[in-house]
Amino acid sequence: MTTLRAFAETEPRILLDCRNVLGESPVWDDRRNLLWWVDTMRGRIHWLAPDSGATGAHETGDTPGSIGLCDSGRLVVALRRTVILFDPDTGDRDTLADLASLREDERLNDGKVGPDGAFWVGALHETEISRMQPASSLYRIAPDGSVTEKITGLKVSNGLAWAPDGRTMFHSDSCAPWLDRWAFDPETGAMDRRSRIAEPDDETGRPDGAAADALGRYWSAGVSASRLNIWDRDGALLGSVPIPGCPKPTMPCFGGPDMRSVFVTGHRNQMTPEVLATFPHAGSLFTFRASVAGARVARFADAAAKVGAQGPART
């Protein structure tokens, strides 16, 4: 297996010593030249301007699991059981969808805007015992606020990413664990031809959040192995990029003017004092320069957004 130099032109380093409890969902905003991400446990949406080093945060009063960019400049945000549209300039928020059918110990987790202009978001169970039961789902939140349950029988839905042409969707389950590939229709959001391409173990790195590069390869955060793993579309492990100082990487994203800067979030949640003494910067934001550009992530088509949508419909 090929390591660092085949995929990274620079060594990973700390970009911001923010020490998130549970950093997740980095996304590059090419209009503002900002990086957005969330600290789920602290209930914050963070931003960073890499050029100036300026940074800030918005309090959500909830547990944001993931975010995406909107056509309007707003953010689409998955909170515990609701999906909202948030305006970072004014602080205004509108509820787009309410997933009231989620269990008491269940919350929304990894999410990303798909090529179809919809927000795709999965759920997880928060207790270790219930997390072992395949009882969560992946949902599609359409621009009109309608909710469709797309995949059932999940433990921890994670790792959404689309190939550059929008016709391949990758998805993972962190606790199963596995990586799946789907044929995807970027116009309608229809998906079929599910294929189980890999079942990584703890040593390789259980799959967490992910991104796709311009060649259609899948960059998965190996949360149990302090690395990013790069897979081809058929599930061959092409190599990895170790992230020293980040024992639990949660998600990469590509960004910067040329989409070759990689930003990696991590967590320090429930780490022992001994582990934190060894990895004092756990949960911080890391970066490196990749040898290839990333696939651009779509924006949520919120011009058609409505509020107060009903619960999920099954496909």
Residues marked as catalytic: 208
Which residue, among 36, 71, 104, 82, has the nearest Cα to 301 in the 3D structure?
71
What is the C-alpha to C-alpha distance for residues 243 and 229, in angstroms, rounded to an integer?
A: 11
Counting other chains too, the contacts that 275-281 makes at CB distance below 8 Å and 24 or more residues apart are: 275/247, 279/245, 279/246, 279/247, 281/14, 281/17, 281/19, 281/245, 281/246
Bridge partners of residue 2, in order along the sequence: 239
Q: Following DSSP, what letter does each residue of 73-86 receive, concatenated?
A: S-EEEE-SSEEEEE
What is the C-alpha to C-alpha distance for residues 73 and 303, in angstroms, rounded to an integer?
A: 11
If phi > 0 it is left, if psi is from -120 to 50 it is alpha, else beta; for residue 159 that is left
Terminal Cα-to-Cα distance of the chain (whole angstroms): 39
Q: Following DSSP, what letter does each residue of 262-287 receive, concatenated?
A: EEEEEB-TT--HHHHHH-TTTT-EEE
What is the C-alpha to C-alpha distance for residues 8 and 153, in angstroms, rounded to an integer?
A: 36
Q: DSSP state, 128? A: H
CB 234 within 8 A of CB 218: no
Which residue, among 147, 29, 131, has the nearest Cα to 81 in the 3D structure?
147
What is the C-alpha to C-alpha distance for residues 22 and 275, in angstroms, rounded to an integer?
A: 16
Beta-carbon-side half-sphere exposure of residue 6 (alpha carbons within 13 Å): 12
What is the C-alpha to C-alpha distance for residues 102 and 123, in angstroms, rounded to an integer?
A: 8
